[in-house]
Structure 1
Amino acid sequence: MGNNPHELENTLHRIDGKGYKAYKDIAGRHAFDRFTLSIDHVQADPFAAPSRARVVVPWAVAGLPEHATATPVRARAARDWLARNFRRAVRDERDLAIDAGAQTVLDRTACLFTEAGVELRFTVHLPAAGRKILGRQAATLLTEKLPERVATAVEPGQRDEAALRAHCDAVEDQVALRAALAERGLVAFVAEGAVLPRASGIDDRPLQGAIPFEPPESLAVTLAAPNAGPVRGLGIAKGITLLVGGGFHGKSTLLNALKVGVFDHRPGDGREQVVTNPDAACIRAEDGRAVTGVDLSPFIHDLPLDKPTEDFSTDLASGSTSQAAAVMEALEAGTSTLLVDEDTSATNFMIRDRRMQALVAPADEPITPFLDRIRELRDVHGVSTVLVMGGSGDYLDHADTVIQMQAYRPLDATARARQVTADHPAGERALPDRPLTRPTPRRIRADSLDPRERKGRVRIKVRDDDTLSVGEHTLDLSAVEPLADRAQLRAIGQVLARLGQQGGTLEAAPAAIAKWLEADWEAITERPDGDLARPRLQEVAAALSRLRGLAVVR
């Protein structure tokens, strides 16, 4: 193990031209003049995942302004900015990389503030010709280029102090706006001038030339932000809100912005003043998912052959069954706001019109549609719903607010909707014959979450943007929203692994998840990973519920 950059350089020169495994000689801690480099993991060969490394810049060297660490919120924002700044500094070095995220500002492990200083965690692809070490090239990378890039990213006089402050201010404002929702009786807020459309389905940056958001006067509210001051925008009140309008006019675009409004966004994203109730859950149909031990009886009951639904399990749920499970699981996780889009919903779960009710007697229909529970959710359980609906006017009878999107501009259509319901009455509907009750949190047998593969090693692997493997379990999370990036999937895997390793019975799964999400990163992960981002309880609980083989203690 080298002790300083000169010894590291000498070691790399010594192993130049040797077999790739000789790179293991550089693992460990190396004290540079202005930071400490730790090489935590050396890749086994040039085609394996890159090596993992850290630099710790002492506080005296980093010289961060006081505002950057004044509160936990500003510290999170400053860490995010420094990780992004390091990524900018190494953008021309293909062998250095850091997982600094995209548009969202999350609690990431890419940059941490520790007692020792500012810690940057990154990857290094150690250079080779075939399987032979290019030691001199590696020495230039680690002892010359890396110190320059670290100084550019972290040290005062080289970093952009105004950009750092603007980043921290924007995140602090979003947290304040989100915190103001409850006291103002709102579930979401969209600032005037926000840019909601994205560049494309695979590019989350703002669409150039998009129409800035303009709230209707009747629904406009003003919230206070500590840095931006008064912020005017659309306030979506608690209760039942319908988003209506013609196709391609922006209904789903608005809902998608609300979905990710539970996260903070970087300045310039266009959604940095779009905030949503932090416990909001996205509800959709998901054919083929697993459902384990969920009480579906408020929505599905009286099945043929007297099959009970109070403790329902299946490895292959239908669209309506999966959506009913999603609602009950969200309630179990403590959500108070449901976000629903008819385009991703099961029709027979959402609505049964009068003609179908007349044709199929209620006694022969086991599904109670969401339409018949939406008021009960609001009035009895305090659960609000924001629903994109373009195909069924029956929901107008229940709506507190109706927002019509017209060429990406929101209009207050509430009064018009009430006139429509008066002129075209839908008629009375039969009320459900049983109440909807919040589910009791399931008790989970921890060993059913075993994160070990057959060889006994803990295995957590993210295959793509939607697929997570934990031990022998493979989870398809393509229908779980919102997930900002793969770093959150990796963190979900870590939390599930910790739950599985603690043994015994998880008496209340949401509470057990919340405990781990409140823990420091050192407790969640057993090694200094730099590619994790903290998820919400809602997404971890959704992943847990999709585990095939999950054992519920009855």
Structure 2
Amino acid sequence: MKSAEDLRQFLRSVDRKGYPAYKGAKGVYQFPDFTLSIDHVQGDPFASPSRVSIRVEGKKACFPAESYHLSHKRVALQDLLLRKFAAKVERYNFKARGSGKSGLIAVSRCGQEILERTACVADPEDGDILIRMEVGFPANGRTINSGELIKILFEFLPECVAGTCFYKTYPAAEREKVKKVSELAEDQEEARRLLSAMGLTAFVANGSILPRESGVSDRPMAKAVPFTSPSSMEVVMKLPHAGAIKGMGIPRGVTLIVGGGYHGKSTLLSALESGVYNHIAGDGREYVVTEASAVKLRAEDGRSVKNVDISLFIKNLPDRRDTKRFCTEDASGSTSQAAGVVEAMESGAKTFLVDEDTSATNFMIRDELMQMVVHRDQEPITPFVERVRALYDEQGISTILVAGSSGAYFHVADRVIQMDCYVPKEVTKEAKEAAAGFGEGVQSLKLTTVSFERVPKRFKSGGRDERFKMKVLGRDSLQFDRDVVELRFVEQIADTEQIAALGYLLKYAGTHFIDGRRNLIQIVDLLEKKVAAEGLAALAEDGYLPVNLCMPRRQEIFACINRCRSLMF
């Protein structure tokens, strides 16, 4: 390891030389209070920024061991440090002058969720703090301006590190914040554990703020109506630090959310979708907790489907296609949603979240009048309403469904919640009485056997080429080699960094686990085991690790693989 002074001398020696001379800066350097690693140097000032990381030893960082020795507390501490570091870095961003990306200092931008990221890592053993970032090495044109880089590395970054990574320098208020973050993480972990113990699939605390600021902001809406549980569904969660918290407990089974337009049905469901993640203090959804494997289901016209057994919902197609091993490159609304249900079951989901607004109508229901005109033997679709009861009774899979235009689900629901001006009311008794006036209603069918033995064989381009090109295309998709994996309808992806991680997981699966013998469940199991043991950084075998990867859930890993058109089954 070289010294900080060695780096300073090198940078002075390459001043005003051609930009490639910066390459010699790559290496590890010891500064007085931290280690600086220049992991990758950009090719020119207009290329992707250089990658830099900083490590502070645990004995110098001195954060309380109880704030990082457990996984959920460690992730919360990492999130706090990353937000704090990002706020300090922002003051220096582009303060160093030059061409192109010169002077850029960038770290991950965290949203409302608390997620595990490669941008900040607290070692659970010794408390070492690692922060990864991007830095635009300054130049005038393509001529090195090392004086400006010296300013970044020897003035700007040390000040940001000093204000973030040393617990002993924190004033009392900042230390209290570290404590509160750790306590909130412990409370949220306990709330998630209590769901199972209390027989619930979700919990929404009284006082939660569910509406968001706008369509482009996930912050809480000002002056929104605080959530208040119906008395008949109110439960108490006893948490280690927050104490006894009251709120609406949604039991396992089939729950229907109804109400007029703009009364908060989809807002509640959206909060439940996001409830699979922990949220920061002040978000309004800190104690909105959903069973961890819950999956939002919807229609996805045009998606590809590979060898999925959708016979549970669709069979006897006019063209005689095999629905036990259904394949298409252009799924309809109903076939895509049927495939989504089976794929979610394959991923291990125990809760389905459904909104009729984003569902295929013919997949969800068929009313009596339609059945009188188009007889059952002429209709290849068995609607979801006829299977939803058995999904819970036989497989233990709960469903929370938003409906505003059809009462068909009143017959099969265990409970019905009506949203009225964002205030929930339980109307199960009234709904059941009204449904009884319409006769027997829905025919609930038992489940048939569904096959999950899908075995991916290879990618079209060969499958074991480690030179796959990957690129994140916003929040909507991932470019993987020559394929674009559409993810815009995988609604529980919370961050673009999760999409980047999915690209690396997909690549690693292709080069290590997809061999024509392992089924999809075994492949995802191996990916999760790899990441759990070694972290996301273990996926970057070529040494190229972006600073901004974020761990997705198991369900999103399945969703990404299922939507990869170039993967052969």
TM class by smaller structure: over 0.9
For the structure 1 residues 175 and 315, does the alpha-carbon distance in structure 2 shift closer, same or farther, using more than 3 Å as the test? Answer: same
Deviation at 1:69, TM superposition (A): 2.1
Distance across 1 between alignment mates of 2:443 and 2:267? 34
Paired amino acid for 1:514:
D
Deviation at 1:119, TM superposition (A): 0.7
Q: Give the SS at the match of 2:567.
A: coil
What TM-score comes out, normalization by structure 1 length?
0.95
For the structure 1 residues 46 and 80, does the alpha-carbon distance in structure 2 shift closer, same or farther, using more than 3 Å as the test? Answer: same
For the structure 1 residues 429 and 415, does the alpha-carbon distance in structure 2 shift closer, same or farther, using more than 3 Å as the test? Answer: closer
For the structure 1 residues 158 and 102, does the alpha-carbon distance in structure 2 shift closer, same or farther, using more than 3 Å as the test? Answer: farther
- Give 1:513's aligned residue: 524
Distance across 2 between alignment mates of 1:426 and 1:130? 79
More moved, 476-485 vs 436-445 = 436-445
For the structure 1 residues 144 and 549, does the alpha-carbon distance in structure 2 shift closer, same or farther, using more than 3 Å as the test? Answer: closer
Pair 1:70-2:69 in alignment: yes
Paired amino acid for 2:113:
T
More moved, 152-161 vs 519-528 = 519-528
Runs of 4+ in 1 over 6 A off after TM superposition: none
Q: Structure 1: give runs of 5+ residues left out of the alignment.
A: none
Q: Give the SS at the match of 1:306.
A: coil
Q: Give the alignment partner of residue 388 of structure 2, picking from 374, 379, 392.
A: 374
Deviation at 1:305, TM superposition (A): 3.6
- Give 1:547's aligned residue: 564
Q: Give the SS at the match of 1:176.
A: helix
The total of aligned residue pairs comes to 547
Contact 2:408 2:441 in 1 (8 A): no
Deviation at 1:288, TM superposition (A): 0.2
Q: How does 1:240-319 map to 2 (within 5 A)?
A: 240-319=254-333
Distance across 1 between alignment mates of 2:414 and 2:501? 38
Deviation at 1:72, TM superposition (A): 1.9
Deviation at 1:116, TM superposition (A): 7.8
Pair 1:113-2:122 in alignment: yes
Contact 1:192 1:212 in 2 (8 A): yes
Paired amino acid for 1:21:
P
Q: Give the alignment partner of residue 438 of structure 2, picking from 410, 425, 438.
A: 425
- Give 2:251's aligned residue: 237
Paired amino acid for 1:59:
G
Deviation at 1:14, TM superposition (A): 2.3
Contact 2:312 2:450 in 1 (8 A): no
Deviation at 1:513, TM superposition (A): 1.0
Q: Give the SS at the match of 2:301.
A: coil
Contact 1:86 1:153 in 2 (8 A): yes
Contact 2:435 2:441 in 1 (8 A): no
- Give 2:100's aligned residue: none
> Residue deviations 1:388-431, cap 9 Å, x none?
00011111111111111111111111122122113x31544556
Distance across 1 between alignment mates of 2:156 and 2:462? 43
For the structure 1 residues 200 and 451, does the alpha-carbon distance in structure 2 shift closer, same or farther, using more than 3 Å as the test? Answer: farther
* Identity fraction in percent: 41
Distance across 2 between alignment mates of 1:472 and 1:546? 14
- Give 1:219's aligned residue: 233
Q: Give the SS at the match of 1:173.
A: helix
Q: Give the alignment partner of residue 496 of structure 1, picking from 506, 514, 518.
A: 506
Distance across 2 between alignment mates of 1:223 and 1:73? 19
Q: Give the SS at the match of 2:405.
A: coil
Q: How does 1:114-513 map to 2 (within 5 A)?
A: 114=123, 117-159=128-170, 160-422=174-436, 424-429=437-442, 435-447=447-459, 457-502=467-512, 503-505=514-516, 507-513=518-524
- Give 1:103's aligned residue: 112
Contact 1:105 1:263 in 2 (8 A): yes
What TM-score comes out, normalization by structure 2 length?
0.93
Deviation at 1:446, TM superposition (A): 4.2
Deviation at 1:5, TM superposition (A): 2.2
Distance across 2 between alignment mates of 1:113 and 1:450? 38
> Residue deviations 1:489-516, cap 9 Å, x none?
1111111111100152352312321331
> Residue deviations 1:347-399, cap 9 Å, x none?
11011111100000111110111011111111111111000000111111111
Contact 1:451 1:472 in 2 (8 A): no
Distance across 1 between alignment mates of 2:339 and 2:238? 38
Distance across 2 between alignment mates of 1:450 and 1:231? 54
Pair 1:59-2:70 in alignment: no
For the structure 1 residues 431 and 264, does the alpha-carbon distance in structure 2 shift closer, same or farther, using more than 3 Å as the test? Answer: closer
Deviation at 1:438, TM superposition (A): 3.8
> Residue deviations 1:146-169, cap 9 Å, x none?
111101011124442111121122
Distance across 2 between alignment mates of 1:446 and 1:82? 41
Give the RMSD, CA atoms, in angstroms. 1.8
Distance across 2 between alignment mates of 1:514 and 1:207? 39
Distance across 2 between alignment mates of 1:18 and 1:451? 42
Q: Give the SS at the match of 2:2.
A: coil
Paired amino acid for 2:483:
H
Q: Give the SS at the match of 2:56.
A: strand
Distance across 1 between alignment mates of 2:327 and 2:18? 53
Contact 1:242 1:401 in 2 (8 A): yes
Distance across 1 between alignment mates of 2:265 and 2:229? 14
Q: Give the SS at the match of 2:552.
A: coil
Q: Give the SS at the match of 1:405.
A: strand
Pair 1:82-2:91 in alignment: no
Distance across 2 between alignment mates of 1:194 and 1:448? 48
- Give 2:555's aligned residue: 538
Q: Structure 2: give runs of 5+ residues left out of the alignment.
A: 94-103
